Amino acid sequence: MLSCIQPTGEVHLGNYLGALRNWVSGQHENDVFHGIVDLHALTVTETPGVLGDQTLSLAAMLFAVGLDPDVATVFVQSHLPQHSQMAWIMECTVSYGELSRMTQFKDKAAKREADFVSAGLFTYPALQAADILLYDANEVPVGDDQRQHIEITRDIAIRFNHRFGDTFVLPKAVTPKAGARVMDLQNPENKMSKSASGDAGIVYMLDEPAAIERKFKRAVTDSDSVVAYDREKKPGVANLLEILATATDSSPSAVATKYSQYGPLKSDAGAAVIAMLAPIRSRYQELMNDRSELARLIRRGDDRAEAVAAATLARAHAAIGVLPR
């Protein structure tokens, strides 16, 4: 099992419910690899000196949510040259047309409008395919927004295997039943996202309880005052039901039967999220207080990951028939 997260901005509730929670629950049954993908973040990084700190802080968050360094391999993408090396092979196995059809590229490029749109933003899925295929991943636990990226990875693997012989394992995306697409509390038509314009609709993992309470109280719902689970017609209410259901291990429709008004639903959702995040926040603070231990844990993950990545890269080179050094 493999999945990764970018060190851009703060980790939010969408990341946690859509992906990180599944990483933690999967770590005892699977051989799991989780990358902090700082090379992906380079596609939009323009300020010097911040990426390293964000990488360290994200590592602390991954351990704080419950990844156990004894069983889960947490590594930093740029520490392993194999990711960049494999990415080139992937770029030569994916077509311009396929990359042009990626909705995330189209969205991100459109959002950046007059801003600089790097070629890396366009070839991003090739680097992501490298991340996944280097670890022979069968399953990739992600939120809904990453499905297309996992599908293109599968297509790339199939094409490579067809050209050069069976080399890569074909991966599939795994998404949670509820929480795969957590929406912005202010704009429930849009997913909760680090690149959103304002913070009022985003619940960050490190938000103070009072801020979380306020964000839920002000959550946008609708005007018909009926609590029912309908993602199409009632996106705001459905989002609150999903969040409360995931935080209390229930289902959104079961939760819906317990409420007749929006007010109590909002405050219970806020309270459940505060309770869920409290232990994570305190573990995060502890971890950030011992940076040398954190660096040691990362080094251990890097070493374990590199052993696997180097073997897969060598296999790909051999399959292609690159002249050995």
- In the complex, the residues that contact ligand TYM under the rule CB under 6 A are 3-6, 14-15, 18-19, 37, 40, 128, 131-132, 140, 142-143, 145-146, 149, 180-182, 191-193
Is residue 234 annotated as part of the catalytic site, yes or no? no
Is residue 217 annotated as part of the catalytic site, yes or no? no
Using the minimum distance from each CB to ligand TYM, give the nearer residue, 52 or 263: 52
CB 207 → ligand TYM: shortest distance, Å? 15
CB 147 → ligand TYM: shortest distance, Å? 8
Neighbours of 290 (CB within 10 A): 12
Output the CA–CA distances (angstroms, integers) from residue 22 to 25, 67, 74, 135, 250, in the order listed.
Answer: 5, 10, 15, 18, 16
What is the distance between the alpha carbons of residues 94 and 112, in angstroms, rounded to a whole number?
A: 24
Is residue 194 annotated as part of the catalytic site, yes or no? yes
CB 26 within 8 A of CB 141: yes
Largest alpha-carbon pair distance within the chain?
70
Q: What angle do the packed helices 262-288 and 291-320 form, to 10 degrees?
A: 90
CB 9 → ligand TYM: shortest distance, Å? 9
Please tell me which residue in 111, 177, 194, 266 is annotated as part of the active site.
194
Using the minimum distance from each CB to ligand TYM, give the nearer residue, 64 or 140: 140
Using the minimum distance from each CB to ligand TYM, give the nearer residue, 90 or 292: 90
Task: Count CA atoms within 13 Å of residue 163 on its CB side.
Answer: 18
Please tell me which residue in 106, 111, 177, 191 is annotated as part of the active site.
191
CB 3 → ligand TYM: shortest distance, Å? 4
What is the distance between the alpha carbons of residues 40 and 122, in angstroms, rounded to a whole number?
A: 11
Using the minimum distance from each CB to ligand TYM, give the nearer residue, 79 or 191: 191
Name the residue whose CB lies closest to ligand TYM.
18
What is the distance between the alpha carbons of residues 289 and 72, in angstroms, rounded to a whole number?
A: 22
Q: Which are the catalytic amino acids?
A: 108, 191, 194
